[in-house]
Amino acid sequence: MLNLIQEKVTLADKNWFQTGGPARYFAEPTNDEQFVAALEFARCQNIPVFVLGQGANILISDDGFDGLVIRPQLKEIVHATGEDGSALIEVGAGWTMHDLIDYCLEHGLSGLEEFSGIPGTVGGSVYINLHYFQYLLQHFMVRAKVIEHHSGAIKIVDREWFNFGYDQSKLLDKEHYLLSATFALKKISPIDVAYAKGRRTEIIRHRASRYPTTHTCGSFFRNFHDHEVTYTSAGKKMMFVAYYLDKIGVKGALKVGGAQVSWQHANMLVNTGTATSKDLIQLARKMQELVFNQFQILPQPECQLIGFKEHPLLRPEDVCVHRSTAKNDGKLQPSS
Ligand SMILES: Cc1cc2nc3c(=O)[nH]c(=O)nc-3n(C[C@H](O)[C@H](O)[C@H](O)COP(=O)(O)OP(=O)(O)OC[C@H]3O[C@@H](n4cnc5c(N)ncnc54)[C@H](O)[C@@H]3O)c2cc1C
């Protein structure tokens, strides 16, 4: 236990924004038993747990995380054959998607290359049900091994257990963490491997030309759900949050301290080098206000906000209260 748990470990170098304060305790379990022991430690200390992947979809408070951060280094990989002849590959939650895609293509296994160029571990990717255009990670996952937060019990669960949706999985309730996932992939010929590798390169090139690739968490706000949207354009409900963010003209222009809206994508916030997490939060809040004042719809974060004592952004209920008591036509006052 003494070697497993470290104290006061910096997190700014372990997340994509490169901001935020330290973890009070930090552990990197390399097997399931160590993961169980780390959870047991948190239970004994009565402190919260945060399971960290590659830090590509999080913003950590400048005060850090006052609990135990577990960054799984579970790197086992096992091949099997499914009943339908498909290739099954069971992979530890600590694998990065980048390394996994390379590994699969080297072994003639196709499917996951559609997620090329997206940072993150298998754990973080199952958590959010990784998505790129029409592809969702749930389409490839058949089962998984998870650990229960409170009991430390380990169980094997199937895809249905996850209740997957857009930006949605059962892991969001933080009652379970992913230890490993099993993906069903297609065995392909050497010529098709060459084609898939070419496609991977092309996807990465395309992404690099369209989006910032460092010092960001990717899309900061999630797209809207059907029931949230009333605004239509050409007869279609506008679900894409980037549509609204483009219209308010913040791309490459709106800044707070060292935080700026990317010039490449209106839904991507970037640390230009000196940003604090507070700068990024204030910038995101301004974007919420601008969108709400123009379209009466409130963007909500896809980025996970970690270690904040109170939710630092506007929630729909804040806006309802504000609208009913506002003396300014329901408009939000700009935050300072
Ligand atoms: C440049 C850039 C581009 C991006 N493009 C896309 C994109 O096209 N599509 C897309 O879907 N996402 C995109 N993202 C977001 C990000 O890549 C994904 O959300 C990714 O899956 C995050 O994985 P992670 O390991 O970094 O998770 P982290 O950011 O470390 O954590 C995110 C969440 O996952 C949870 N988590 C991590 N590991 C586990 C585990 N083992 N068990 C349970 N929960 C866990 C964490 O607790 C946290 O709540 C992008 C991000 C960046 C920086």
- Span 235-246, average pLDDT: 92
Indicate whether residue 124 lines ligand 1 (CB < 6 A): yes
Mutate which of 118, 264, 306 for ligand 1? The one with the most ligand atoms within 8 Å of its CB, which is 118
- Report the distance separating Cα 60 and Cα 21, nearest Å: 7
pLDDT for the residue 327: 45
User: Does residue 244 surpass a pLDDT of 70?
Assistant: yes
Q: Which of 29, 43, 27 is nearest to 149 (CA)?
A: 43
**163-186 per-position pLDDT tens digit:** 999 899 999 999 999 999 999 999
User: Which residues are CB-contacts of 82 (< 8 A; sequence separation ≥ 6)?
Assistant: 88, 142, 184
Q: Which helix (H) or strand (E) holds 279?
A: helix 277-295
The pLDDT confidence band at residue 231, using thresholds 50, 70 and 90, is confident
Least confident of 6-10, 82-86, 164-168: 82-86
Distances (CA, A) of 41 to 6, 45, 49, 154, 306: 12, 6, 10, 17, 20
The pLDDT confidence band at residue 230, using thresholds 50, 70 and 90, is confident
- Report the distance separating Cα 288 and Cα 254, nearest Å: 12
User: Does residue 84 surpass a pLDDT of 70?
Assistant: yes
pLDDT for the residue 82: 85
User: Which residues are CB-contacts of 144 (< 8 A; sequence separation ≥ 6)?
Assistant: 126, 156, 157, 161, 162, 178, 179, 180, 181, 182
Residue 120 Cα to ligand 1 middle (Å): 5
Q: What's the length of the chain?
A: 336
- Span 114-139, average pLDDT: 96
User: Does residue 78 surpass a pLDDT of 70?
Assistant: yes
User: Which residues are CB-contacts of 275 (< 8 A; sequence separation ≥ 6)?
Assistant: 17, 19, 257, 258, 259
Q: Is 131 helix (H, G, I), strand (E, B) or coil?
A: strand
pLDDT for the residue 233: 83
User: Does residue 336 surpass a pLDDT of 60?
Assistant: no
pTM: 0.94
pLDDT for the residue 259: 98
- Span 259-267, average pLDDT: 97
Q: Which residues on adjacent β-strands are paired with residue 148?
A: 176
Tokens linked to 52: 């960290």
- Span 120-140, average pLDDT: 96
User: Does residue 325 surpass a pLDDT of 60?
Assistant: no
Indicate whether residue 169 lines ligand 1 (CB < 6 A): no
- Which domains does the chain possess? 9-70 (3.30.43.10), 77-210 (3.30.465.10), 226-325 (3.90.78.10)
pLDDT for the residue 219: 96
Least confident of 47-56, 131-140, 312-321: 312-321
Q: What is residue 282's DSSP assignment?
A: H
Q: What mean pLDDT, rounded, does the chain reach?
A: 94
Indicate whether residue 53 lines ligand 1 (CB < 6 A): yes
User: Does residue 326 surpass a pLDDT of 50?
Assistant: no
pLDDT for the residue 334: 58
- Report the distance separating Cα 91 and Cα 75, nearest Å: 7
Indicate whether residue 131 lines ligand 1 (CB < 6 A): yes
Contact by Cβ (8 Å): 326, 289: no
pLDDT for the residue 333: 64
